[in-house]
Structure 1
Amino acid sequence: MDSPKHTRISDSLLLEVQKRFDQQEAELALLRRQETLVPIDQLGQAIIKARNAQKLSQEDLEDLSEVSRTTIIKLEKNDLNVSFSTMQKVLKALGLKLWVG
């Protein structure tokens, strides 16, 4: 039978192991997300890839995002001279997120 002192030490060790495990799990999740990141100069290609993967036309994306087809064409050509909120609407419609860091 373990003494109370041994039980406290065991509990303490288990908590430390769990804490380190949780930290490593969070780091792995971050690394997995980074594998799918694209540089801003490739955003247009990422939009086209996501749109095509979902079998959406530019007109479909226009309807889903409530952003004009002209603006979608600009984004797909990597002309990023649009408002942040407009870019977010298009990305959200495609299930994409914009990460800055």
Structure 2
Amino acid sequence: MVGREGHQVSTATNGHEALKAVSLQRPDVVITDILMPEKDGIELIMELAQLGARIPVIAVSGGRRAISSDFNLESARLLGVCATLGKPFSREALHQALQQALMH
């Protein structure tokens, strides 16, 4: 969906890969799932802040059995992300989040 909006997209399967990618080429926006293997989205958001990256972040979560998506997304908001999306989300919701992040 992001590519269809006309944006160039790079992907990473976990927070470690995302940090490495950010260090090689600074993106305009990071969209991260909260639940990922090895290094989750909360850790990624915190490490980006510690590095002083000042990259707008959109956090996405569908939750899991023990933790709701609302809890995950509220945790991300407390860490300063510019937008959050609960799964499933619409193309319009993603578009709005991207616009908000790019103006951030």
Q: Same fold (TM over 0.5)?
A: no
Q: TM-score, normalised by structure 1?
A: 0.28
**Structure with greater Cα Rg:** 1
Q: TM-score, normalised by structure 2?
A: 0.27
